[in-house]
Amino acid sequence: MRYWLMKSEPSDVSIDDLARLPDQTVAWYGVRNYQARNFMRDQMKVGDGVLFYHSNCKEPGVAGIARVSSTAYPDATQFELINKYFDPKATPEQPRWFNVDVQLVRKIALIPLDELRKHPELARMRTLQRGNRLSITPLDPAEWKFITTRLVHD
């Protein structure tokens, strides 16, 4: 089992939106970074743990715990001409972009980015590194355990 931090802008899909969706599941669409795509396509497995992170908002931070609920499959938005995620180089035979489904485990009290930065146990966490802009990053099992057992409050 692996662990991931996956960023979503609350104006697009928030933890509350996820909680209202059928089966509390969402396709993690629109990823247009090759490294993040490769994480989904090549490494994510059903059951992997996910920290659902609100980004690009007034108070960024971990807003919930989720799990990967599907293997990777082609992101349909790459084929939709009117979609902002359309990719003219992608074809159904050779898709360029993939997504996985993510299912809510539980919403938590927001753990703000500033709170995450306070803990030396998280100093090597990729999301906290200067210049990191990836929307999906792997978590070390020790980081997952620290966050989910020491910082999570309902």
Domain ranges of the chain: 3-136
Q: Give the confidence band of 82 by pLDDT, cuts at 50, 70, 90.
A: very high
Distance CA(18)–CA(96), nearest Å, equals 26
Average pLDDT for 8-35: 96
To the question of domain 3-136 being in CATH 3.10.590.10, the answer is: yes
Q: Give the confidence band of 104 by pLDDT, cuts at 50, 70, 90.
A: very high
- Residue 92: pLDDT over 90: yes
The sign of the dihedral angle between the CA atoms of 74, 76, 81, 85 is negative
Cβ neighbour number for residue 154 with a 10 Å cutoff: 6
| CB contact at 8 A, 29 and 75 | yes
18's enclosing H/E stretch is helix 15-20
pTM (2 d.p.): 0.95
As a whole-number percent, the residues of the chain with pLDDT over 90 amount to: 95
Q: State residue 41's pLDDT score.
A: 97
